[in-house]
Structure 1
């Protein structure tokens, strides 16, 4: 059995009601993937920084997941050129 460890880092910054998150996936298999996202404080809402952190991080992780799926589909297509179509569709539900 071969075990791999992938690391995801989320960097957060906040300035004037705008929270920015960058999710970075590092693996030993290739280049890292990055996805950035933001959350904005609505002028009528209380300033609770944790909420902005959570929303921005969630959006960055969601985007990173989509980017990873796109990379997997591209790898499938690249490694099986005879198939013509990927065996994994980007909009397919996750198998149980």
Structure 2
């Protein structure tokens, strides 16, 4: 059995009521997938930066999931010449 790994980097920028997340996923074939997402705090909500980070990160990772599914489907289609619908 061969053990392989992928590397994910997540960065955040917080500006008052808005948290932005930038995600980078590096695959072992050299592909880099990038995603950006944000979360906004309502004026009446308490200031909890960790919650904004978690929401923004989850949204960015969800987009990376979609990108990975699209990449995998494209690779399967290339090798089989048949349409593929990779769903999460």
Q: Normalising by structure 1, what TM-score?
A: 0.83
Partner of residue 4, structure 1: 4
Any gaps of 5 or more consecutive residues in structure 2?
none
Secondary structure at the aligned position of 1:20 is classed as strand
Count of aligned positions: 88
Q: CA deviation at 1:60?
A: 0.6
Map 1:1-96 to 2 at 5 A. Answer: 1-81=1-81, 84-86=82-84, 89-91=85-87, 93=88
> In structure 1, how many angstroms separate the alpha carbons of the residues matched to 2:73 and 2:21?
25
Distance 1:30 1:79, change over 3 A: farther
> In structure 2, how many angstroms separate the alpha carbons of the residues matched to 1:71 and 1:13?
28
Q: Normalising by structure 2, what TM-score?
A: 0.90
- Higher helix fraction: Structure 1 or Structure 2? 2
